[in-house]
Amino acid sequence: MTLEEGKQPNIEWMTSLGSYSPTLLDLPLTKLAIPGSHNSGTFNLDASGGLSPGTSADVINLVNNPTVGPLAKGVVHRWSVCQSLDFIKQLNAGVRYFDLRVATKDASEDLYFVHQLFGLKVTELTESIVKFLQEHPHEVIFLDFNHFYSMELEHHIQLITHLIYVFGPKICHRRDPDSLTLNKMWEEEKQVIIFYQDAAGEDFLETFTTASLSAPWPNTPETSKSIQFLTSLHEHRCSKGFLVSQGVLTPTMTTIMAGLFSTLETWNRQWTPVFCSWIKERSAKFIQPLNIVITDFVENDDFVQTVIDLNKSRTDLPTF
C-alpha cells in the first residue's frame, strides 16, 4: 500500500500526539519514534548535468565504461534517486527528519543537494520548510547535514548563516538532547533542530554537533544482514542523544550492473515491507527503542504511519 494522493493524515502528527497520552508531550524527543527520509534531497537529481563532488570511483568508472556508453548517466540517475516525494510532500506525509548531503558546484555561488548527481539548491529546502512551519506551528523538524563535498570553511559559514537567517528564533540552540520534549519546544516556540556534522558547526550554538546523534549504516544489499544489523543495534546498545535507524539496502556495483534498466525504487520493493514488519515488532521495552527511523521512498507500505504508531506503546515510559 502506498500513501494515497491527497490524503495527509500525518500532516500534524506531532501536534496531535497528546491524544495518545499527554505524557508523550513530556517524553524526551530522543525517546519518541520519528519518521525520516534517507537521502532526502534526491527526488530531483539532474541526469543531464555532470557528476557531483563525492561521486564514488565505481560510478565514475561506470560513466567512463565504453560498453555502457551514453546510457551511463541514466543508469546513475535511476540508482541514485532515493525519494519520489519533494520536500513539501515529505513534510505533509509526516516526515520530520531529513538526511542531507551538500556540495558546491562549479560556476555557481549556490550550494546543492547531491547524490552522485546534483539536485536542488539548499534554498529550495529551506523555503519549503519555512512555509510548512508557519502553517503548522507545533511541528518540529530535524535537519541532519552529514555529508559535505568540495566545501571550504567559507562554504560552511555560508550554509550555517543561511539557516540561521531563514529559521531565526525557531532554531533550538544546542543543549543536552535528552532534555528536549515537545512541550519544551512548544513553550520556547522552537521548531527546528539542526545537526551539523562538521567541525565548522561547533562555533554556532544554533547547531547540534556529531556527539548529539548516532546513525550507524548497515551498508549491505542483503535484507537478512540489514535486519540483523538493526536488531543488534537495538538489543545491545543503549546510547544517549538521538539514534537514527537506517532502514536501507545499499546496492553494490554488481547489483546495478545486473539491473541497468531497473531502478533503486524497483529493487527496493523487496525491502520496505520486510522493514515495516520489523518496525512493528519493536516495542518500547527493548533496551534501545526506535527513535529516528529512515528509509528510501517513504510513501511506500505505510512506512510513516508504522513509525508514528510506535509512540502508542510509549505512554508509560519515564519522562527523564
Residues labelled as active-site residues: 38, 115
293, 34 Cβ separation under 8 angstroms: yes
SS3 14: coil
96, 14 Cβ separation under 8 angstroms: yes
Q: How far is CA 189 from CA 124, 139, 173, 182, 249, in A?
A: 23, 10, 12, 10, 37
Q: How far apart are CA 211 and CA 205, in angstroms?
A: 14
Number of H helices, E strands in the chain: 11, 10
Q: What's the angle, vertex CA 17, arms to CA 139 and CA 227, rounded to 5?
A: 90
Q: How far apart are CA 162 and CA 95, in angstroms?
A: 22
For 258, other C-beta atoms within 10 Å of its C-beta total 11
Please provide the DSSP assignment of 96-143 as one string: -EEEEEEEE-TT-SSEEEEESEEEEEHHHHHHHHHHHHHH-TT--EEE
Q: How far apart are CA 88 and CA 97, in angstroms?
A: 13
Cell of 137: 506551528
Q: What's the angle, vertex CA 133, arms to CA 169 and CA 297, rounded to 5?
A: 125
3-state SS of the chain: helix, strand, coil percent to 5?
A: 40, 15, 40
Cell of 8: 495527509
